[in-house]
Amino acid sequence: APAGSSSPRPSEPSSLSCRHARFDMAAAMVWVPILEDGVFRFDVSEAARVAAGPSLSFAEPRRREVVLRDGAGRPAVVPECEVVGDDVHRVLIKLPSGTSFYGTGEASGPLERTGKRVFTWNTDAWGYGSGTTSLYQSHPWVLSILPDGKSLGVLADTTRRCEIDLRQESTIKFAALSAYPIITFGPFDTPAQVVASLSHAIGTVSMPSKWALGYHQCRFSYKSSERVLEVIRTFREKGIPCDVVWMDIDYMDGFRCFTFDNNRFADPKSMVDDLHSIGCKSIWMLDPGIKEEKGYFVYDGGSENDVWIKKADGSPFIGEVWPGDCVFPDFTSERIRTWWARLVRDFISNGVDGIWNDMNEPAMTTTTKTMPESNIHRGDADIGGVQNHSYYHNVYGMLMARSTYEGMVMYNTEKRPFVLTRAGFIGSQRYAATWTGDNLSNWEHLHMSLSMVLQLGLSGQPLSGPDIGGFAGNATPRLFGRWMGVGALFPFSRGHSEAGTVDHEPWSFGEECEEVCRLALLRRYRLLPHIYTLFYVSHKKGTPVAAPLFFADPQDTELRKIETTFLLGPLLVCASTLPDKGAHECAHKLPNGIWLPFDFGDSHPVS
């Protein structure tokens, strides 16, 4: 079936497995040059190219369709494809022995991805582990570093559940329903050139405001405006930098989006004015689940405007989230995105500085975890038209973030919007920052947070970071201090913790940890002009803000698996994720070149 068909997906991800695929019947894909020199589009056939649905990853989808005619050359690698079973398209790309793999977007586990398998299916993955195969976002993208240091990027341009299988040495395998284009970038001389070329397709990060690059303090939840102000005033009294405080769902009236609790947040505008007077911004959560309740203005307005996702029988789908029974806006329609954007515009008038989109995989609190794939989206023709949920599931969060972003622009065209989204798709950086989801407060998750931030940067999303200290569970002073030490140098720096855990503010773990956190954050603020400049370069050119160490010398194979050292432009950050050794006690391999210590005049777990 052509791309854009609504044929059902097999129920289990194993149905897409390439494990036993021998590609005996595979054929070379047909290709055309697109976008710029070194970029090629491959399809299973000429007919499939014509029938392919619109791209949701490309910032300008038409650019995927325009063929370059002059001086384009020939591709260095031609993928093979075979069609098996229920219209599953399996693609094989064989690269030279010794190739290293990266990318795959938001993925747990090691930085170098050989031996791993990922399924792109946005999933509420609380407490994920190093072997979890589907997290909150989908990036069907692999960055390959060839043995000679040159780099090749491969994008499977499909919104459907897609298997990325890297378990065979130097081999990339994709598997997804219906025909989908493969886009290759390179080989180019450096990985930075590949990521920049990818950005010419999927767009660059929206340029953040400088305040968004400061430290953010969050909690599930600060239960009253008095508590919010108390936390920020304590930051000021203790001389610990903090630019932003976050409001989780408990600020709402019964978890109803676009409302405020009349007792605990009776005058949000006054609270925001008080925060602004001491130099602090506020970010507020908005989920997609809208309480099904007559008399609630959002539900009534949405029902009148026919904005809800439908079941197969044409009635609104009802799923259970925090408020109870909820309906969900269908963000695949521009009309409905505009409806949501107007709600955001009016919400911003309360003094809101930024929006946090959560639970937008979309997630349910029931055992099914998300909505049925038989649900119907009435998508606009330019993004794929009317389709079932399996087609749009992976882009639902991105489209919600886009609508939220557009609502902030609608309120004030002179200010740069700030949106944070949990769910996303390759290209989401055009609208929102992201974080690595509901991690755990332990040393394994501290270690994974480095490779996850780097992996997202290699997949086009430079504005990311973990919940510093871990979301679930209680941090120890040593763990929290160590995490803040490196987390203060991540592109996005935010502490966040789950309800029922001990307080996770920097002063909550004793005087020594408080001093470590103060020095770590003062270090970030001394480097803020540099970090801001890196974001400007990323916004203009598409290069990562935080990059793996091998970016300094792609030909040095010994650098390719190093996970505790990374680059911020020309700055090299060395960290330790070992409980019994600080960074200054660990041996760190440095790339060739002259590296001078950056002396901050402080003693700190990061050198």
Catalytic residue among 361, 406, 505, 515: 361
438 is catalytic: yes
Q: Is the C-alpha dihedral spanning 542, 545, 547, 551 positive or negative?
A: positive
Residue 336 DSSP one-character state = H
Strands 88-94 and 100-103, sheet pairing = unpaired
Give one DSSP letter per residue of 144-186, joined into a string: EE-TTS-EEEEEE--SS-EEEE--STTEEEEEEES---EEEEE
User: What gap in Å lies between CA 72 and CA 34, rounded to an integer?
Assistant: 8
Give residue for tokens 């040393």: 443
Residue with token string 């592109």: 491
Tokens of 345: 């515009």
In angstroms, rounded to a whole number, what is the distance separating the alpha carbons of residues 2 and 46? Answer: 11
- 373 burial (CB, 10 Å; 0-12 / 13-18 / 19+) is middle
Q: Which tokens sit at 410?
A: 């609608």
CA angle 465, 512, 277 (to 5 degrees): 60
User: Residue 316 carries which DSSP code?
Assistant: B
Apex 117 CA angle, 367 and 439, nearest 5 = 55
Of residues 112, 292, 438, 515, which has the active-site annotation? 438
Q: Are 106 and 466 in contact (CB under 8 A)?
A: no
Cβ of 34: how many Cβ atoms within 10 Å? 19
Q: Crossing angle of helices 225-238/268-277, nearest 10°? A: 0
- Going by their DSSP bridges, the two strands 30-33 and 88-94 should be labelled as unpaired
Q: Does a cis peptide bond (omega within 30 degrees of 0) precede residue 151?
A: no
Q: CA Rg, the chain, in Å?
A: 23
Q: Is 148 a catalytic residue?
A: no
Contact 205, 535 (CB under 8 A): yes
Do residues 391 and 384 touch, judged by C-beta distance below 8 A?
yes
Q: Identify whether 361 is a catalytic site residue.
A: yes
Nearest to 285 by CA among 422, 417, 121: 422
Distance CA 554, CA 532 (A): 25
Residue 23: Cβ-neighbour burial (10 angstroms; 0-12, 13-18, 19+): middle
Q: Which residues pair with 472 in a beta bridge?
A: 440
CB 482 within 8 A of CB 565: no
Per-position DSSP letters for 124-146, written without gaps between them: --TT--TT-S--SEE--EEEEE-
Sign for the pseudo-dihedral over CA of 424, 248, 326, 342:
negative
How many residues in the chain?
A: 607
Residue at 109: amino acid letter: G
Instruction: Pick the catalytic residue from 124, 261, 292, 358.
Output: 358
User: What residues are labeled active site?
Assistant: 358, 361, 438
